[in-house]
Structure 1
Amino acid sequence: MDASGRTSADVKRRLAVGIDRALDYLHQHQYPHGEFCAYISPDEAMQAGYCLPDPSLFPTVLVSNCLLYVAGEPRAEEMLTRATRFLQYQMQRGGVWQHFPGWHPFYAFSPPDLDDTACISALLQARGIDCPKPTNIPLLLANRNREGLFYTWLIPRLRPVAYGPYWRLTLPQLLSVRQSVLFWRAEAARQDVDAVVNANVLYYLGERAETRAVEAYLLRIIAEGREASCDKWYLNVYSVYYFFGRAYHNGATGLAPARSSVTARICAAARPDGRLGETVLDTALAACALLSWGSYPPELAAAIEFLLAQQQPAGEWPRWRLYYGGPKRLRGWGSEELTTAFCLEALARYQNLPNAS
């Protein structure tokens, strides 16, 4: 029995109901072609000003990754099958992806990026789908700087790259230089090296000689307390903790020295109502991060109770901006589907803990 008088059986029943309702919501809101909705908006709550649907690949792979924790459930299987087919259809030459689907107006001048490529490749791998084939790993390894860190963008570079397929992929971009001027003038830079992007590449490639520099880089960020400014696109510290923890949970054990610092900082942000951070999305990301880092403090149970209490009548949780179009925070993406997927992941993983209560 917990401090509120609920028994373990009560908690597990409520978890099962919450998970079932979340699955219903996501199942009903997936587009027929497999994509999940994401909105673009200038404010974090996505309530003021414009809030418009913006087709993009990354929200779909994020929702799908959360669904892996309930894989085998019929609705989850149907959603994962649709999503992976959608993502496979959007693959570009060499087995890479960019943020936008082929019908988006930015598709023509947005280059492939390692964030989408690594996350989609890892999802397909987790689903046992032999795609991309042949592997895209040599392309990713060719896109590193002298310190061994991965560039965000797959583009032509001045330094020599001794890998022919890299040039076959990137050189055609030189034909659309005029179209891409606005892209590079906005908030992206050709030499971008972003911490969460590197963490997602580590998540895909795993711990190997070529990713040791990435582990050291991520450890320095936590040791120096720079998680709020280490990535141009992820300006929420809880998303940083989530993605770093995901890599650790997937076998990047070299990140272990960061575990105590991350979990202490998450727990220090706990509120009396169970929130971790400020919002439902913060709480879901933080709870998943604690689970990934293998930490199960009392704050985790309180966070799960908070998430259960905040679930809406239709089974969803409110939208909140997850990631941004750059450090100026001019706009960013989020949706009920994204928040709901992270909440679903937190509930499902907590449900699978021994003696969850």
Structure 2
Amino acid sequence: MTQYDNIENAIRKGVWFLYDHQYPNGEFCCYICPDDEMKMCVTHSNVFPTSLIANSIFDLRYIPEVNEILDKAAAFLQYQAMRGGTWNNFTILNPLFPICPPDVDNTACAAIVLQKLGKDFEDNKTLILANRNDEGLFYTWFTWRTRYNPIKTYWLLSLRALKHPIDTCMFWRKTEATRYDIDAVVNANVLFYLGLNKNTAPVLKYMLDIIEKGKESDCDLWYRNPFTIYYFFSRNYKAGCAELEPAAQTIKERILLTAKADHSLGESILDTALGIISLINCGDNSTTLDKAVAHLVAHQNRSGAWQRWGVYYGGPKKLQTYGSEEMTTGFCLEALALYRFRLLEIAKKNNPSN
């Protein structure tokens, strides 16, 4: 069996796992627990995993089951949409939904998926652009602040908190969030959604500064793993933000330095997948990349899934860790899909007549 066949076989097994494990409503499983390895966990109904997985498998639509997965995921996201084309971290049926405000990260990522699929959703770009600080960076939350905002929808979303005033107050006291949070991945995802323009240009400087100063482990309340920062930053570079070139080169170097003797990257199979994606996005062609892909394929479970690991957190203290086999598998499939495309491009160069 050729390398291409091994990749294709792993992709199809992973797709079948997701196809078999997607809930009837289109949602994907999310667990919550207190550690990265997620050994003791419980299910937690969240919107974000479905957005992440759908985006990761978008380029595998040549497989019929992927299109079914995406259609169900899109229907789920459309159903979960809130006023103004915004999304909450928690699903409508989650007890935390009424007290948690919608956030820019979930909104951008859900909108990206629906936009790619050509599905309808309420235009939210004006609302997002009105949710910035004086430096032009995007706030994480759509919530009340002591500053003027001209958008009526913003105030209507903020007034939602008055339905549960005590619980909402406790939300801000008990979580590590604040109304004025500015988070790196949130801003990177807005840039990915809106594209580079005069309104999003400040995000570029912000991202470049984080990588230049080595702050990727502490630049976002919810993403505490540098590999997730590399992933979300690098996809902006691949999308055409050439100004991120200095950061892309540094990201490559830092990922390659984490390579282990067994050819894994970082501390987990999730890190390996995110590392592969980031390296490809940043234009890496090293043998370390090839070996990491082989490691990824070799560690696929018989079910077609890859081991669950914490993807994002409930704050810097990591009191809550969110992840699942489905989320890890989505990232692993994205890594293999990118590498598969790379193999096809190499084959075309070597055989231009085909």
Distance in 1, Cα, partners of 2:33 & 2:109 = 23
- 1:112 equivalent to 2:81? Answer no
Runs of 4+ in 1 over 4 A off after TM superposition: none
Distance in 2, Cα, partners of 1:294 & 1:91 = 35
Cα deviations across residues 64-100 of structure 1 (Å, max 9, x unaligned)?
Answer: 0111020232100000000010010000011100101
Selected match of 1:162 from 140, 150, 153: 150
* Residue identity opposite 2:105 in structure 1: D
Distance in 1, Cα, partners of 2:65 & 2:90 = 26
Tell me the CA shift for residue 129 of structure 1.
1.4
Distance in 2, Cα, partners of 1:174 & 1:104 = 19
- 1:36 equivalent to 2:38? Answer no
* Residue identity opposite 2:325 in structure 1: E
Cα deviations across residues 115-166 of structure 1 (Å, max 9, x unaligned)?
Answer: 000000111111111322xx10010011000010000000111111122232
Selected match of 1:144 from 114, 127, 132: 132
- 1:82 equivalent to 2:76? Answer no
Counterpart in the other structure of 1:250: 239
Counterpart in the other structure of 2:186: 197
Counterpart in the other structure of 2:291: 302
Distance in 2, Cα, partners of 1:244 & 1:16 = 27
SS in 1 for 2:2: helix
Counterpart in the other structure of 1:54: 44
SS in 2 for 1:352: helix
Counterpart in the other structure of 2:8: 16
* Residue identity opposite 1:106 in structure 2: L
Tell me the CA shift for residue 10 of structure 1.
1.1
- 1:173 equivalent to 2:161? Answer yes
- 1:324 equivalent to 2:313? Answer yes
Counterpart in the other structure of 2:223: 234
Cα deviations across residues 294-342 of structure 1 (Å, max 9, x unaligned)?
Answer: 2222111011000011011111111111100000111111111011111
* Residue identity opposite 1:202 in structure 2: L
Which stretch has the larger CA shift, 235-244 or 285-294? 285-294
Cα RMSD (Å): 1.2
SS in 1 for 2:200: helix
Counterpart in the other structure of 2:258: 269
Counterpart in the other structure of 1:121: 111
- 1:279 equivalent to 2:268? Answer yes
* Residue identity opposite 1:265 in structure 2: R
Selected match of 2:91 from 96, 101, 112: 101
Cα deviations across residues 22-55 of structure 1 (Å, max 9, x unaligned)?
Answer: 01111100001100001001011011xx400100
- 1:260 equivalent to 2:249? Answer yes
* Residue identity opposite 1:245 in structure 2: S
Relative to the length of structure 2, the TM-score reads 0.95
Stretches of structure 2 that go unaligned for 5 or more consecutive residues are 348-354
Stretches of structure 1 that go unaligned for 5 or more consecutive residues are 1-8
Distance in 2, Cα, partners of 1:312 & 1:14 = 14
Distance in 2, Cα, partners of 1:38 & 1:175 = 27
SS in 1 for 2:346: coil
SS in 1 for 2:32: strand
Percent identical: 45
* Residue identity opposite 1:157 in structure 2: R
Contact 1:203 1:252 in 2 (8 A): no
Distance in 2, Cα, partners of 1:256 & 1:86 = 36
Which stretch has the larger CA shift, 324-333 or 245-254? 245-254
Tell me the CA shift for residue 286 of structure 1.
0.6
SS in 2 for 1:290: helix
Which stretch has the larger CA shift, 162-171 or 107-116? 162-171
Counterpart in the other structure of 1:209: 198
CA separation of 1:177/1:251 partners in 2, compared to 1, >3 Å: closer, same or farther?
Answer: farther
- 1:183 equivalent to 2:171? Answer yes
Distance in 1, Cα, partners of 2:59 & 2:87 = 24
Distance in 1, Cα, partners of 2:325 & 2:313 = 16
Contact 2:227 2:275 in 1 (8 A): yes
* Residue identity opposite 1:76 in structure 2: V
* Residue identity opposite 1:97 in structure 2: W
Counterpart in the other structure of 1:355: 346
Distance in 2, Cα, partners of 1:141 & 1:92 = 17
Relative to the length of structure 1, the TM-score reads 0.94
SS in 2 for 1:333: strand
* Residue identity opposite 1:98 in structure 2: N
Distance in 1, Cα, partners of 2:36 & 2:160 = 37
SS in 2 for 1:40: strand
Tell me the CA shift for residue 175 of structure 1.
4.0
* Residue identity opposite 2:78 in structure 1: Q
Which stretch has the larger CA shift, 248-257 or 142-151? 248-257
Contact 1:99 1:112 in 2 (8 A): yes
Contact 1:242 1:286 in 2 (8 A): yes
